[in-house]
Amino acid sequence: MPATAPSGVPLSRGTGTPGARTRSGVGGTNPVAAGPRRVGNLSFLARLLLVALALAAAIVLSLAVGSRTLPPAEVWDALLRGGDGTTAQVIREMRLPRTLIGLLAGAALGVAGAVLQGLTRNPIAEPGILGLAQGASAAVVIAIAFLGVHTLLGWIWFAFAGAGLAAVAVYAIASRGRGGASPVKLALAGAAINALLASLIAGVLTTRSATLDQFRFWQIGSLTGRDAEVLARLWPFLVIGLVLALAGARGLDALALGEDVARGLGRNVAAVRICGGLGAAVLTGTAVAAAGPIAFVGLAVPHLARALAGPSHRRLLPLAALLGPVVLLVADVVGRIVLPPSEIPAGVMTALIGVPFLIALVRRSGVGA
C-alpha cells in the first residue's frame, strides 16, 4: 500500500514529496514543475520572434524611405539583381551602408546600456555614465585641433581610444579606497570625468573656430556620411564587445541580488565588473566611433527589453541587441521625412522621440521605485 501524507495525498516512491510525478516512472524532472518553465521559454521565443520581425520591418523602411520613397519590391530587386542603375546606386551606396551602421550602433548601444544598468544596479545608467561619450568626443577634438585629422575614418580610431581611456580612468578612480568600485563610486567618478572632459572640449572649441565647424558634424550623432569602409573597420569590435557582454550575463544576474549574495553564489564580483565594464566600453566606443554620440538608445532600450524578457541577462542582452537597431533606424527614418527635403540627424530624433516615451514608461512601470 503506498505511503500517504497526512493530508491523504499519495507520496511518490523515492521522492518523499506529496503527489510528485516522475517522467516514465523514473525519478527525474517533475513535468508539473517544468511546465511553467517550458511555457516561459515559448513565450520568450515568441517575443524574440516579434522583435526580429520589427527589426526586419525597420530595415525595409530604412532602405525604402527617403527623399525618394521606393516600393519594397524595387528595393529587393536592386539588392539582389542590380535593378535600375540610379535606384541601385542610391540603395547600395547610400542607404545600405546607412542602414548597416544603424544596425551596428543600435545593437552596441542597447547591449552596453543593459550591461551598465546591471553593473551599477542603477535603472537610469547609460553608456555616458562612465564618461565614454565625452572621452570619445574629447579625443576627436584633440585629433582635429592639434593632430590635423580631418576625415571620418581618422576620427573613428581617436573616438574609440578616447572612450576606452575614459572607461579605464573612471574605473581606476572608483576602485581606490575601501569597498572598491561600488556603484555609487562608479557614478561619481563618471560624473567627475564627464565634467573634466566637457570643460576640455569647451576650452578647445572656443579658441579654434575651425575645429568647431568640423567637430559639430560628428558630435550631432548621425548615420549619414558613413560608408561601407567604416562598417568594415568596426564590426570586429562589435563582435568582441558582444562576446564579453554575453560572457558576463550569469554574473550580472548574481550581482543583481547584491554583492554579498553574488559572492555567496561563487561569483567573482571584480571579474564580473571588469568583464562587463570592458564589454560596455568596447560597445560604446564602437557605436560612438561609427555614428557619433547618440542619446537615449542606451538608456531606454534596456527598459524595453526588460519588459519583454524579464530580469535574466541571458535573455535581456539578445533582446536589447535587436531592439537597439529598431529604435535607432526608426528614429533615422522619421528624421528623413519630418521636414523634407532637409533631414534631422538620428541623434536629435532619438532624444525628441525617446524622452517623452521614457517619461511615460517610468510613470507607468515605476522604474527606479
Task: Specify if 316 maps to a domain.
Answer: no
pLDDT tens, position by position, 299-348:
889 988 998 998 899 999 999 999 999 999 999 999 998 888 888 889 88
Q: How far is CA 223 from CA 100, 213, 226, 295, 329, in A?
A: 9, 18, 6, 13, 9
Domain-located, residue 112: yes
pLDDT (tens digit, 9 = 90+) per residue, 113-132?
Answer: 999 889 888 787 788 777 88
Q: 351 in a domain, yes or no?
A: no
Higher pLDDT, 52 or 172: 52
Q: What is the pLDDT of residues 90-104, one digit of tens each?
A: 888 889 999 999 999
Tell me if 317 is assigned to some domain. Answer: no
For residue 13, the SS3 value is coil
Q: How many structural domains does the chain have?
A: 1
pTM for this model (two decimals): 0.82
Within-domain flag for 366: no
Grid cell, residue 166, equals 575614459
Q: What is the CATH number of the domain that holds 169?
A: 1.10.3470.10
In a domain, 167, yes or no: yes
H/E stretch holding 47 reads: helix 31-64
Average pLDDT over residues 342-362: 81
> Does residue 324 lie within any of the structural domains?
no
pLDDT at 47: 92
Q: Identify whether the C-beta of residue 332 lies closer than 8 Å to the C-beta of residue 278.
A: no
- Give the end-to-end CA distance of the chain in Å, rounded to a whole number: 55
CA 9 to CA 328: how far, in whole Å? 57
Is position 299 within any domain?
no
Full domain range(s) for residue 183: 108-293
